[in-house]
Structure formats: C-alpha cells, structure tokens
Chains A and B, each alone.
Chain A
Amino acid sequence: MAYHVKLEAYEGPLDLLLYLIKKDEVDIWDIPIAQIAGEYLGYINMMKLLDLDVIGEFLVMASTLMKIKSRLLLPQEEGIEEEIEDPRSELVEQLLEYEMYKERAKTLAEREEAQFKLFTRPPAEIPPSQPTFEASLFDLLTAFHNVLKEKAPEIVREIEPFKITLEEKVDQILERLKKKDKISFSLLFKECLSKGELIVTFLALLELIKQKRVRFRQPKLFGEIAIYRCPA
C-alpha cells in the first residue's frame, strides 16, 4: 500500500499549477507554458523519486501541458481571418474556477474556526429505558436480507473506482457510534452506494459483534435493530 504523503499541501495538479504560478509570479492571463510545464514535470519526478503516490490526474495534466505547449509552437495557418483561440484559455478558465472555490473553501475554514469557539448544549445521553429483546444472529440476517431487498432497485451497476475495506468500515461504524451512542441497523446501510459496500458493512458489523465492541438490541420482535457501542 503506497504511503500517502501530502507534499506541501498540494493535493492535485491544479493546486500544483496554481502554486507554481504564484511562486514564479507569473501572469495567469499569459502563462509561460514552456517554463511552467518544465517545472511541473520536475515536481512530478521529485514525487516519484520520493516514492510518493503520483496519482493519474497529475500525469493527465502533464500531457495536457505538453499538448498546449506544442499547439503554441505550431505556426499559424495563413489566410485565417478569425482569431484562433489561445490553447491556454481552457486551462486558465479551469484554474480560475478552481481558485474561486479555493477562496470559498477558505471562507468556510474561517467560519469553521469561529464556530469551534461557540459551544452549545451537547446531545443528551438517552439510556435504553425500553425493555428490549436480545436479537439473535438470525434476526440480523433477516434484517440484512430486507436491506438488500429494499436497496436492490436503487443500486445501478456503476464502475467503482473507490473500494472500501473491512477495516475502514469497522472504523467508520465505530466513529459513528462515538457520536451517537446507538445507531439503527437500517441507518448503517443508508449511504451505501453499491452491493459490495452493503456486504462489507454487514461483515464489519459482525466482526465488531464478535470482538464484543458492539452489541445489538431489538426492542420489538422482528422490528428495527439498534446497535450500541460496548463500553471499553
């Protein structure tokens, strides 16, 4: 598994380009492509040398820069009346749009910071006061079967570039239980986007039950199952 290190807080090719443009104090409306492309490739090589995860998008951008550079080198065809579009303009538009959202993200970060200084009443601990039945494994399977049945029509076969592992799901479930002491069974599967994910989620739940880190209760016979965190 590649160790994912963030180099100088750029996370993508657009970040890197904006960084280079600012560093070289270059006019974004007249980017010296040859210079920037050269530096960009230099950074890619450095990342490869450091054995960092050079994601595909970086390489796609590298080839885009090369393409723009070569178009700029082509001699203009004679006899063409209208202005030929600057091959850089699409990239510049993209950079400006991205920069706009980065600015907005900064505003959100400031709000986040300000909100952290404001406290309010925390959610109350609701003790499980209702008498509940200990649910059995078969209740869990039935509940899962229902989830699969319900979700099946929604899930369209889509190509998943993003796969989630059992360990990650286990962490996710525990995280959610940290915030809310109990989750309903069906809520766990609410945001699953594929059948594979539904299954991994269920397996993660079983794993946690086996490790005695969570327990489950079924207040009504054959009703909704609630998952609780076991005190450490």
Chain B
Amino acid sequence: MEREKIKLIIEVLLFTSHEPLGEKRLAEVLEGIDKESIREALEELRKEYQEKKNLEIREVAGGYQIFTCPDYASWIEKLHKTKPTRLSHAALETLAIIAYNQPIIRAEIESIRGVDTSGVLHTLLEKNLVKILERKKVIGRPLLYGITDDFLKYFGLKDIDELPSLKEVRELIPEKEGVDEEVKEPEDEDR
C-alpha cells in the first residue's frame, strides 16, 4: 500500500476514535502493513496537521488523537453548552501525591496532607483517575493506589514522566543555608 493511502486511513481512524490510538492499535487495524511504514505515514500526517489552524494531532496516554485547537474552544462550548466541572483542591493535591509516589497507600497520602482522604479517594476512584493496584504486603494489607490512563488523558499527558519533577519545585522554596536535601524523583512504575 502506498504511503498516501496509509496516511488517509490513519487519518480516518483518528477522526472516528474517541480514544487515543497507539502505534500498536493502528498496526492491528492496518494488518499486513509494517510498523515502519505506519510510523512514517503518521509522521507525515502530524506534519500536515501542524499546518492546520483549527485541528492538531497530539500524543496523549501513549497514543495519538485529533484535538481542536484551544483558540476555538469558545465556539465549541457555545455549540454544546457544557461547562466542565473542575477538580477540587483536595482532589488535585491527592492526585499530585499519588502521581509522584505511586504505588502509595492511603495512610501515607494522609500523613502528607494532614487530613482524612478517604472521601477524596472514593471520588477519584469513581472518576477513574486513580485505581487500586494491589495490597501492600504489610500488616493490615492496605490498598495501594496509582494513577490511570484516564488520568493521563484528563491532564493531556503523554506519560507520567511528562510531569515536571519534584526537584524543580524544591528549587523554588527558599533554601536554608547549607542544608543538603534528599530529592524524591517520580518513580518508574508499571501501570
């Protein structure tokens, strides 16, 4: 199949998908076409879309998806008359703590926030922004939490490493003279 045809097919696949499509998924649909050709066609398509003013192709949660450009948001909001509900401070804090420390148990989250977090966790589970990974192998077998693919999609992240490291934030806090701080890095995890 020629490159042009592959490109057109990928475009319609992206156009009709409400989920990001990864190279693997595209390869499944385009069975028989080698990954290299798919990748090249995808690259060309992305370049084409960069020329467009109203649509763009972004990489989110390990896949590609067509998005509208932010400048046109107000028009779309007019059409759909939707006002999205934002997450609460508590939810965002909890998400930040989980994202940078996963897997993590509720008690650890609560010791950082200093308040009860079970309600917030319940909401985040409901919204599928966090998920239960497994139980920690300690007394009491508490649940371990981690972020989901929906979390990445919600915040427009390619993967968890796209989040700025904690180190960058610590540098903003006025340092005490001569204090050597141990810096926490976002952990590599299996999602």
Contact = CB atoms under 8 A, between A and B. Distances in A.
Contact of A57 (B86, B112, B116, B125): B116
A114 B156 contact: yes
B119 A120 contact: no
Nearest to B126: A172
A167 B39 CA distance: 50
B18 interface: yes
A124 B76 contact: no
B96 A114 contact: no
B141 A121 contact: no
A104 B87 contact: no
A222 B59 CA distance: 42
B65 A120 contact: yes
Contact of A14 (B65, B66, B114, B143): B114
B140 interface: yes
| A interface SS class | helix
Interface string B112-146: 11111011001001100000100100001111000
Interface stretch (A71-79, A105-113, A130-138): A105-113
B169 interface: yes
A138 to B, nearest CB: 29
A84 interface: no
A114 B58 CA distance: 13
A119 B114 contact: no
Interface stretch (A42-50, A95-103, A205-213): A95-103
Contact of A122 (B18, B68, B73, B92): B18
B66 A120 contact: yes
A112 B141 CA distance: 33
A170 to B, nearest CB: 13
Given A101-B97, A105-B92, A162 B155 contact: no
A123 interface: yes
Contact of B173 (A12, A99, A116, A119): A99
Contact of B93 (A102, A112, A122, A161): A102
B19 to A, nearest CB: 8
Given A98-B112, A118-B68, A164 B173 contact: no
A61 interface: yes
B54 to A, nearest CB: 11
A220 interface: no
B115 A119 contact: no
Contacts, number: 128
Nearest to A107: B164
B26 to A, nearest CB: 16
A115 B154 contact: yes
Contact of A104 (B68, B96, B140, B176): B96
A37 to B, nearest CB: 16
Contact of B115 (A11, A100, A102): A11
A85 interface: no
A161 B70 contact: no
Nearest to B123: A172
A100 B66 contact: no
Contacts of A116: 73, 84
Interface of B: 15-18, 58, 65-70, 73, 76, 84, 86-87, 89-90, 92-93, 95-97, 99-100, 112-116, 118-119, 122, 125-126, 132, 135, 140-143, 154-157, 163-164, 166, 169-170, 172-174, 176
26 contacts: A9-B89, A11-B90, A12-B114, A57-B114, A94-B112, A96-B173, A101-B93, A101-B96, A103-B169, A104-B169, A108-B95, A108-B96, A112-B92, A112-B154, A114-B70, A117-B70, A117-B73, A118-B69, A118-B70, A119-B73, A120-B18, A120-B65, A120-B68, A121-B17, A175-B126, A176-B126
Given A12-B113, A14-B113, A98-B114, 14 more contacts: A57-B115, A100-B170, A103-B172, A104-B164, A105-B89, A107-B96, A107-B163, A107-B164, A109-B87, A112-B87, A114-B70, A115-B154, A121-B66, A161-B116
